Amino acid sequence: MKTEVLIAGAGPTGLVLACELARRGVVCLVAERDAEPFAGARGKGLQPRTLEVFEDLGVLERVLELGGAYPPIRAEIDGETVFTGHMDEPKEATADVPYPNGWMLPQWRTGLILRERLAELGGSVTPNAELVSFTQDGDGVTAVLRVDGTEREVRAKYLVGADGGRSTVRRALDVAFVGETHEEERALLGDVRAEGLDPAFWHMWPQGGGGENPFPVTLCPLAGTDTFQLVLPSPPGTAAEPTLEVFQEAVDRAAGPGRIKLTELVWSSVFRPNIRMAERFRVGRVFLAGDAAHVHSPAGGQGLNTGVQDAYNLGWKLAAVLRGADGELLDSYEAERLPVAADVLGISSALHQKLRDKAPDAHRRDDPRLRQLTLGYPAGPLSVERRTAPTEPYAGDRAPDAVTGPSRERLFPLIHTGTPMLLAFGPAAARVAQSVAPASSVVIGSPAFADEEGTAHAAYGVTPGENALFIIRPDGYLGLVTDSPDEAETTAYLTRLSPQTQNALKG
C-alpha cells in the first residue's frame, strides 16, 4: 500500500493535518489504533486562534452551532455561594479579532466535526489500525500497520506521529520526552448526566465538602450536550476508580447528601498531570505533532489548541514540498513550533502551580497569551522583515483581520485561502503584487477593498499613502514584510513557500 503521508493518530491534531493535506490534493492515510472515535470531553476549550483556523478549514459554522460560551463559575462552601463570576470576562469582537473569546466544545464532538470535514474533502480514517514499526530512508518511510489484526506494509513519503502522549512514533525514534508526571495529583474525570444542577453555571466546591477528600470537586456543563464534566482530584495514596458510585459519594460530601443525583456515567478516565516536551519534533522524514510532541497541564486549555496549531503549520509545508517546493521548507516546522510549544508549556505549568498553591486567583484565565493570538514566529526562518521602521504586526506575527467601508467586508476570507497571499498598501506595492501574482493579491485602497474606515491600515500599522507589502503565509502568518517592494525578492520568497502561488483548494 502506498500513500504520500501516513498520519498515526486521529485525534484533533491528526484530523486537522489530514484536512489540510486533503484540501491540497495530497493523499494521506490516517491510522487510528482505536476501533471507535474518542468519546470523552477532555479537551473541551477552543481558543480564539483555533477558531480562526477552523474558519479557514471550513468547520467554524458547525463548531459555533454545536458548542457554546463558557458559563460563569459558581463556587460553594457548606451550601453557601461564595463566588460567582467568569474565569475571563467576555470580550467584544473587533475588526482585527473576530473571535475574542474561548469556546466550549467537547473533544469528542470536535473530532466528529473534523472527521465529517475530512470526508467532504475525500479523506477518511482507518480505524483499528495500530502502527507496529517503521523504518525510513532517503526517499520515504516503510511502516507496518496492524489493521483488524492483520499486518500490512505501507510505503509513504512522510510519517507524522500524532498518536498522543504515549506516542509509538516518538518512542521508536528514541526522542527524549523531557519533563515530569505528577503521580501524586491523581484525578478522576467523568462525563455524567445529573439532576438537581443548574446548567447555566460551572459548579465548584473548593473545600470538597470536607471528610476524607478535602480537594475541589467541579461539575461543568458541557455546551451543546445534556452532560456535565466532573473532576474529582484524589487524595495522595488513594486508588479509587471512576465509577458512578465513587462520583456520587464525592458530590454528596461536597454539595450535601441528596442534593444532586448523578444518573449516568457516560465516559470516565483517570488523569495525572503530565508536563513534558519532546527534544525534537523531526527526525528525517518523520514528524511529531500534538501530544506526541508536548503534553500539558489542563490548566488554561492549551494542549488541544497547540496541537491544532502544529498541524496547521505542518500541513501546508508538507503539501508544498510534495508538489515541488524545496525540502528545506520542512526544517522550519521544528524551528517554529518547538519554541512556541515550550512557551505554552511554561504558561500552562505556571497556572497549574497556582492551582497546587491554592492561590486566590488560580481560577483566572485572563492572561491574553492563553488566546494564542499573540503566538507567532518572529525569529523563525520564514520571517523576513524589510521595513526601515518596523511596527506591529511584525514579520512572523498573525495576520490580523479587518473590515472595509459600508459593506463591512472582512479581510480574512480574502487572505485565508490556504495559499500564499500578497497584501499591498500603496501604488508601488500594488504594482509589484499584481505583476508577480495578480490572482493572489489584495490591494488595499482599490475599489474591491476601499478601506474607507481605515481598519486595514490600522490593523497592519500602515499610514495612508505609505507603501507596504505583506506576504501572508498559507497558515495566516506574516512572512516577508517590506516597505521597498521588489519583484525579484517577492518572486523568490513566494517560490520558497510554494512552487505554485495559486494551488486550487478543494471545498
Segment 135-167, tens digit of pLDDT = 999 999 999 999 999 999 999 999 999 999 999
All cell numbers assigned to 351: 497556572
Burial of 358 (0-12, 13-18, 19+ CB in 10 A): exposed
Q: Which residues pair with 481 in a beta bridge?
A: 385, 470
How far apart CA 499 and CA 234 sit, in angstroms, is 55
Q: Is the pLDDT of residue 126 over 70?
A: yes
Q: Which residues pair with 458 in a beta bridge?
A: none
**Cβ atoms of residues 443 and 453 within 8 Å:** no
All cell numbers assigned to 120: 467532504
3-state helix/strand/coil string of 417-448 = CCCCEEEEECHHHHHHHHHHCHHHEEEECECC
Segment 323-377, tens digit of pLDDT = 999 999 999 999 999 988 887 766 655 655 555 556 555 555 556 667 678 889 9
What pLDDT sits at residue 58? Answer: 97
Mean of all residue pLDDT scores within the chain: 89
Q: What are phi and psi of 52, to 5 degrees?
A: -65, -40
Which CATH code, of 3.30.930.10, 3.40.50.261, 3.30.70.2450, 3.40.50.300, is assigned to 183-271? 3.30.70.2450
DSSP-derived letter for residue 378 is T
| CB neighbour list of residue 340: distance below 8 Å, 6 or more residues apart | 306, 309, 375, 377
- Where in the chain are all domains bearing CATH 3.40.30.10? 384-497
Q: Which superfamily, per CATH, for 2-67+105-181+274-371?
A: FAD/NAD(P)-binding domain (3.50.50.60)
Instruction: For residues 229-256, give the mean pLDDT.
Output: 85
Place of cell 474529582: 232
How far apart CA 477 and CA 378 sit, in angstroms, is 10
All cell numbers assigned to 426: 500603496
DSSP-derived letter for residue 116 is H
Q: Is the pLDDT of residue 179 over 90?
A: no
Share above pLDDT 70 across residues of the chain, in percent, rounded to a whole number: 88
Instruction: For residues 237-258, give the mean pLDDT.
Output: 87
- This prediction has a pTM of 0.93
All cell numbers assigned to 68: 457554546
- For domain 384-497, the CATH class is alpha beta
Q: Is the pLDDT of residue 188 over 70?
A: yes
In the chain, DSSP finds a helix count (H) and a strand count (E) of 12, 27
Least confident of 102-116, 210-224, 329-343: 210-224
- Where in the chain are all domains bearing CATH 3.30.70.2450? 183-271
What pLDDT sits at residue 342? Answer: 80
Phi-psi region at 241: left, alpha or beta (left = phi > 0; alpha = psi -120 to 50) = beta
**Cβ atoms of residues 102 and 45 within 8 Å:** yes
What pLDDT sits at residue 407? Answer: 73
3-class secondary-structure state, position 344: helix
Q: Which residues pair with 477 in a beta bridge?
A: 398
Residue 214: band (very low, low, confident or very high) from pLDDT cuts 50, 70, 90: very low
| CB neighbour list of residue 77: distance below 8 Å, 6 or more residues apart | 205, 206, 207
What pLDDT sits at residue 400? Answer: 96
What pLDDT sits at residue 446? Answer: 87
More confident residue, 275 or 135: 135
All cell numbers assigned to 266: 457516560
What pLDDT sits at residue 212? Answer: 46
Q: Is the pLDDT of residue 502 over 70?
A: no
Enclosing H/E stretch for 497: helix 487-497
Instruction: For residues 281-302, give the mean pLDDT.
Output: 86
How far apart CA 93 and CA 104 sit, in angstroms, is 17
**Cβ atoms of residues 437 and 494 within 8 Å:** yes
Measuring CA to CA, which residue among 467, 470, 472 is closest to residue 428? Answer: 467
Vertex 333, ends 136 and 495: CA angle to 5°?
100
Dihedral sign, Cα of residue 100, residue 101, residue 102, residue 105: negative
Place of cell 489542563: 298
- Where in the chain are all domains bearing CATH 3.50.50.60? 2-67+105-181+274-371
3-class secondary-structure state, position 398: strand
What pLDDT sits at residue 192? Answer: 97
